[in-house]
């Protein structure tokens, strides 16, 4: 950067007076501006450029024409930014004024100054001036101009808040702030503006500020404003009239916040400062808060009493005041309130209620006065039952029975006049009891009978009559009363009454009436064991079986559990079927029991038996069908319905149900299904070919033919283990049609299940000649499985190859055929199918592996040219794969192409240069064979040596190297090779690292022979001993050892 600045500075010095001097000055200023730590120098350069422009110096733009407007505007922007960084507010303001003047000038159209260009410097200058108390007014003027040019509310609000922090009472700024907030829809700013405006115009604007703050949900600010208006400690009398709205609003906020005490206090203050109509509502609200959640009964009483003084007849006032007196326990004031209020109340019911309450208050202190008050209530309104009851209680406590009786008589007449049954019964009971106390039982009886005439279902009245009947020992009256009471009594009481009434009738010799009483009692109390036993005994004694069954049905209706209900219904059904001989009625009850317990097999069996007894098998079938809808997976139900269908003559439907039962229940239902199939087969055989079915097919029943029945019968017999019968049925079918594929499939499956693989494969060979498409594929696979288990997989070859021609892309067939070819040694065919698989392989990896496998197979069968072609293609897919390269070398060698084979080995060796590996050992081994085939034994030996160096644990390589070295007289190389073999471990599997015992024995033999040739007899004998110990069958070693021993 310094070098660049130096260069530009020199250019500026040279450009003095040139048209491009200003452009260079601007560029130099820009560079200095960007350079760290030198803003003053940048400002100086910009001022120099400004001076040159002001002096009218020529200036060239990019097109060579003068463009002073663009130059000066950019210059001022840069210069202003520098002054801002330097904190030179005066200089910055001066520049901004120039920008404003320039943007406003008519002579600057080239600058393209629009409203935004004219507004921006005004906003910036207003922001700058707003910090100076002496410049706030000019700042606001500039801001007004800027807003007129281009409204930017966020920017303007920030400047106004800055200006108002500098001069909080500036009227022009405050009013502009208010106008901006309203025009731009800024409620928060409007609240702030109104608060400032209140400082200069008074609190009149604060009501809007409160409304706006509450609309914003800012309760805290709203309360702060309101408290500022009304003050929080001023006594109520000091609040000016205009403060009422603020007190109401503050009370509302305090109530919303849960501060009810403050809300009540503020409501009362607001009331004192409000007009009369508002004052009443506010005082009522304050009183309600005091009387309610605040529990301030003193304050509530004070406020309600004040209001009552103005409106004594207003129910909205005296009623809650009475409640306050009640809560405070102020009986005297409550009594006085009631006494004063009664004359003012128009409604008779309410007036009586107030008098009654006052009478209760007076009852303890002045019972005589209370009694007079109660008589006044009853004189005015005889229907006031509570007053009558209270008066009666008072008379009774005072022992004034004569007056009490008169009162009851008057009240009873009044109750009868208004047909008030409840009051008639209640008063009659009290009057009757009073008469009984006096010993007037006849009069009491007449009162109770009169009440019973009005309300014959009133238990209390009827019980009183029964009690009097027992007391007076009048049987007729007692029987009449008991019969009436039995009609309305319930539960255990009804049972006792029924037993008592039955006993009375029996004592008279009226057994029918006695039984009727028991029956009526049991109808309302079926839980009574005593009633049930009495009735059952009577019904059984006279063999009224239907009646006894009805008794059990009634017991079922009230039984507490489903089990008990079913038991009672079944007992009733049993009576009807076995004793009454009414199987149809029994079936109806069993159907009801079955609806209670749909899965109860005992009930279902009983229903089936009952239906069978009356020949209603269809009814049983419907019941079974309904039960199956609830339990569709119960095989027993299907078997049971099959029996019913059989009884109805619907054999096909019965067979369909047996099939379903077998499908759900398995072998347990096989015997029934076999029998059903045999019956269906007999029916089908006896039916003419063109005859219509003897029965309509029900839902679930399928049309059947003798062939289908035999196939299914053979299938079930086979599953049940009866293979001979199954085989016989299938044999009959094949005798009729030797090409019956279904029968052949079934027979083949049967033989498979019996593990008779020869027989199964024979059937599959018959079947495969008949199949096509997917069935052919499936049959070929099963044939292959059977042949494999029979031990002659080759017999499946024809079928698999036919299936492959039909479905060449079927993976299962191809897998099976590959396995077959591999097992029978059909390498050429295996190579062909592998090549097909390679051509269809979806990815390179799969195709490569298949090509390699096919190439090696072709090499095995001696088709070297085809193997070369295949392996070349494989190598083209993965040129770096060394194993395929080795296989290609073998193929090329076998094909008589040693030149290309040598070239491939060279490529493989070059690719592994500098590395040793078993794979490289294999490459050198192939190279050795090529050299040997071309008559280059020395080169072959060198290649073998390198092969063993790369694969030192390869016993085969070591033996080959030893043999080659011996042939060339290279004793040392041969000795090293054979010694390497003797040190190798025995390979666990052919092809793995290591050697064999036979190879090790042969290596020891060659080492012994070489030692003997070298004259070292001791070493020769040692090596030969080891050779014989490793392989005693090695005759050459044994003969040479014997020769050594012989001397």
CA 139 to chain centre: 63
What is the per-residue pLDDT across 165-200, written as a single tens digit (0 to 9) for each?
999 999 999 999 889 999 999 999 988 898 888 888
Q: Is the pLDDT at 473 greater than 80, yes or no? A: no
pLDDT of residue 58: 64
Average pLDDT over residues 785-814: 86
Cα–Cα dist 908/947, whole Å:
13
Mapping DSSP onto H, E and C, the string for 229-261 reads HHCCCCCHHHCCHHHHHHHHHHHHHHHHCCCHH
From first CA to last CA, the distance across the chain in angstroms is: 103
- 388 lies in the same domain as 410: no
What is the per-residue pLDDT across 550-559, written as a single tens digit (0 to 9) for each?
878 888 877 7
What is the per-residue pLDDT across 273-290, written as a single tens digit (0 to 9) for each?
788 878 888 888 888 888
Q: Is the pLDDT at 403 greater than 70, yes or no? A: no
Q: Is the pLDDT at 780 greater than 70, yes or no? A: yes
What is the per-residue pLDDT across 978-1010, written as a single tens digit (0 to 9) for each?
999 999 998 887 767 889 999 999 999 999 999
Average pLDDT over residues 693-719: 70
- 424 lies in the same domain as 480: yes
Cα–Cα dist 353/749, whole Å:
99
- 842 lies in the same domain as 791: no
Per-residue burial over 612-629, b if 16 or more Cβ lie within 10 Å, else e, is: beeebbebbbebbeebbe
Instruction: Show the tokens assigned to 378.
Output: 């009853």
Question: What is the DSSP-derived secondary structure letter of residue 793?
Answer: G
- 23 lies in the same domain as 48: yes
Q: Is the pLDDT at 154 greater than 90, yes or no? A: yes
Give me the CATH number covering residue 418. Answer: 1.25.40.10
Q: Is the pLDDT at 107 greater than 60, yes or no? A: no
Cα–Cα dist 839/822, whole Å:
20
pLDDT of residue 65: 47
Among 488, 509, 535, the domain-final residue is: 488
Q: What domain range includes position 3?
A: 1-113
What are residue 826's phi and psi, to 5 degrees? -85, 70
Average pLDDT, the chain: 82
Q: Is the pLDDT at 823 greater than 60, yes or no? A: yes
Which residue in the block uniquely carries the two structure tokens 């054999």?
651
- 9 lies in the same domain as 98: yes
Among 61, 84, 113, the domain-final residue is: 113
- 10 lies in the same domain as 102: yes
Instruction: Show the tokens assigned to 663.
Output: 């499908």
- 448 lies in the same domain as 355: no
- 81 lies in the same domain as 35: yes
Q: Is the pLDDT at 703 greater than 70, yes or no? A: no
- 833 lies in the same domain as 821: no
- 4 lies in the same domain as 95: yes
Higher pLDDT, 5 or 719: 719
Instruction: Show the tokens assigned to 731.
Output: 């044999």
Mapping DSSP onto H, E and C, the string for 252-316 reads HHHHHCCCHHHHHHHHHHHHHCCCHHHHHHHHHHHHHHHHCCCCCHHHHHHHHHHHHHHCCCCHH
Instruction: Show the tokens assigned to 460.
Output: 């209390």
Q: Is 470 part of a structural domain of the chain? A: yes
| Of 302-306, 401-405, 461-465, minimum mean pLDDT range | 401-405
- 105 lies in the same domain as 44: yes
Among 338, 371, 396, the domain-final residue is: 396
The answer to whether 977 touches 987, Cβ cutoff 8 Å, is no
Q: Is 418 part of a structural domain of the chain? A: yes
Q: Is 426 part of a structural domain of the chain? A: yes
Average pLDDT over residues 707-729: 87
Q: How confident is the model at residue 315 (pLDDT cuts 50, 70, 90)?
A: confident
The answer to whether 653 touches 701, Cβ cutoff 8 Å, is yes
pLDDT of residue 659: 87
CB within 8 Å of 401: residues ≥ 6 apart: 395, 434, 437, 438
Kindly report the pTM of this predicted structure. Answer: 0.41
Structural domains in the chain (count): 5
- 102 lies in the same domain as 7: yes
pLDDT of residue 698: 45
């Amino acid at each position: 950067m310094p070098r660049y600045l130096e260069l530009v500075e020199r250019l500026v010095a040279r450009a003095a007076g040139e048209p491009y001097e200003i452009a260079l000055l601007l560029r130099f200023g820009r560079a200095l501006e960007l350079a760290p730590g030198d803003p003053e120098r940048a400002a100086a350069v910009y001022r120099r450029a400004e001076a040159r422009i002001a002096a009218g110096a020529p200036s060239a733009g990019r097109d060579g024409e003068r463009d002073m407007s663009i130059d000066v505007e950019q210059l001022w922007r840069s210069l202003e930014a520098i002054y801002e960084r330097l904190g030179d507010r005066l200089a910055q303001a001066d520049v901004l004024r120039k920008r404003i003047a320039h943007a406003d000038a008519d002579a600057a159209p080239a600058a393209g100054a629009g409203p935004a260009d004219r507004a921006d410097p005004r906003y910036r200058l207003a922001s700058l001036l707003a910090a100076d108390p002496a410049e706030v007014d000019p700042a606001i003027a500039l801001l007004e101009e800027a807003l007129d040019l281009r409204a930017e509310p966020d920017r303007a609000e920030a400047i106004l808040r800055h200006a108002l922090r500098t001069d909080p009472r500036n009227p022009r700024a405050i009013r502009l702030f208010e106008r901006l907030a309203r025009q731009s829809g800024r409620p928060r700013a409007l609240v702030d503006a109104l608060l400032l405006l209140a400082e200069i115009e008074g609190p009149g604007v604060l009501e809007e500020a409160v409304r706006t703050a509450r609309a914003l949900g800012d309760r805290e600010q709203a309360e702060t404003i309101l408290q500022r208006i009304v003050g929080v400690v001023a006594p109520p009398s000091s609040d000016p009239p205009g403060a009422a709205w603020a007190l109401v609003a503050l009370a509302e906020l305090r109530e919303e916040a849960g501060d009810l005490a403050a809300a009540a206090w503020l409501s009362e203050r607001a009331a004192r400062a409000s007009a009369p109509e508002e004052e009443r509502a506010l005082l009522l609200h304050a009183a309600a808060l005091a009387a309610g959640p605040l529990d301030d009964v003193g304050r509530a009483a004070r406020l309600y009493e004040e209001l009552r003084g103005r409106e004594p007849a207003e129910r909205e006032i005296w009623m809650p005041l009475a409640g306050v007196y009640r809560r405070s326990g102020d009986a005297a004031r409550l009594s006085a309130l009631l006494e004063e209020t009664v004359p003012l109340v128009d409604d008779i019911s309410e007036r009586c209620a107030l008098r009654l309450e006052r009478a209760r208050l007076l009852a303890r202190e002045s019972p005589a006065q209370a009694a007079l008050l109660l008589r006044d209530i009853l004189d005015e309104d005889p229907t006031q039952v509570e007053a009558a009851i209270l008066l009666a209680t008072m008379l009774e406590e005072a022992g004034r029975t004569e007056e009490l009786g008169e009162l009851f008589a008057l009240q009873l007449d009044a109750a009868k006049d208004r047909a008030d049954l409840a009051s008639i019964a209640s008063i009659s009971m009290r009057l009757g009891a009073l008469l009984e106390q006096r010993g007037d039982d006849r009069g009491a009886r007449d009162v109770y009978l009169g009440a019973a005439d009005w309300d014959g279902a009133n238990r209390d009245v009827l019980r009183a009559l029964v009690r009097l009947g027992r007391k007076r020992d009048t049987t007729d009256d007692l029987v009449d009363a008991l019969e009436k009471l039995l009609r309305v009594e319930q539960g255990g009481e009804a049972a006792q009454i029924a037993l008592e009434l039955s006993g009375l009738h029996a004592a008279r010799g009226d057994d029918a009436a006695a039984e009727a009483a028991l029956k009526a009692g049991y109808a309302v109390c079926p839980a009574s064991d005593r009633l049930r036993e009495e009735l059952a005994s009577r019904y059984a004694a006279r063999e009224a079986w239907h009646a006894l069954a009805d008794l059990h049905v009634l017991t079922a209706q009230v039984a507490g559990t489903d089990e008990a209900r079913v038991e009672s219904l079944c007992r009733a059904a049993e009576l009807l079927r076995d004793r009454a001989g009414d199987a149809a009625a029994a079936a109806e009850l069993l159907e009801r029991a079955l609806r209670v317990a749909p899965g109860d097999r005992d009930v279902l069996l009983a229903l089936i038996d009952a239906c069978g007894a009356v020949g209603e098998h269809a009814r049983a079938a419907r019941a079974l069908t309904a039960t199956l809808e609830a339990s569709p997976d119960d095989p027993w139900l299907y078997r049971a319905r099959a029996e019913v269908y059989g009884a109805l003559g619907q054999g096909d439907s019965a067979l369909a149900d047996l099939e379903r039962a077998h499908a759900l229940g398995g072998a347990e239902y096989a015997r029934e299904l076999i029998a059903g199939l045999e019956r269906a087969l007999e029916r089908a055989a006896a039916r003419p070919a063109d005859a219509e079915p003897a029965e309509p097919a029900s839902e679930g029943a399928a049309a059947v033919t003798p062939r289908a029945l035999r196939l299914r019968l053979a299938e079930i017999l086979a599953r049940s283990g009866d293979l001979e019968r199954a085989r016989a049925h299938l044999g009959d079918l094949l005798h009729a049609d030797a090409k019956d594929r279904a029968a052949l499939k079934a027979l083949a499956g049967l033989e498979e299940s019996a593990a008779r693989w020869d027989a199964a494969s024979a059937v599959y060979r018959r079947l495969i000649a008949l199949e096509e498409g997917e069935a052919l594929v499936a049959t070929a696979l099963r044939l292959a499985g059977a042949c494999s288990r029979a031990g002659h997989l080759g017999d499946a070859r024809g079928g698999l190859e036919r299936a492959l021609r039909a479905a060449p892309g079927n993976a299962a067939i191809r897998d099976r055929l590959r396995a077959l070819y591999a097992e029978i040694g059909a390498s050429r065919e295996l190579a062909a199918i592998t090549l097909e698989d390679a051509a269809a392989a979806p990815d390179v990896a799969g195709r490569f592996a298949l090509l390699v496998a096919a190439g090696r197979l072709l090499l095995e069968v001696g088709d070297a040219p085809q193997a070369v072609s295949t392996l070349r293609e494989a190598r083209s897919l993965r040129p770096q794969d060394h194993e395929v390269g080795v296989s290609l070398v073998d193929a090329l060698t076998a094909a008589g192409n040693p030149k290309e084979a040598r070239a491939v080995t060279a490529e493989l060796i070059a690719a592994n240069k500098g590395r040793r590996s078993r794979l490289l050992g294999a490459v050198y081994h192939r190279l050795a064979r090529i050299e040997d085939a071309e008559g280059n034994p020395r080169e072959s030996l060198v290649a073998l040596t390198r092969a063993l160096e790369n694969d030192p644990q390869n016993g085969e390589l070591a033996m080959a190297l030893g043999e080659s070295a011996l042939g060339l007289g290279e004793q040392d190389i041969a000795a090293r090779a054979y010694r390497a073999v003797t040190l190798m471990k025995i390979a666990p599997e052919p092809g793995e690292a290591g050697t064999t015992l036979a190879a090790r024995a042969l290596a020891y033999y060659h080492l012994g022979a070489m030692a003997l040739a070298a004259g070292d007899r001791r070493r020769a004998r040692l090596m030969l001993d080891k050779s014989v110990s490793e392989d005693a069958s090695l005759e050459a070693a044994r003969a040479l050892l014997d020769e050594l021993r012989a001397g």
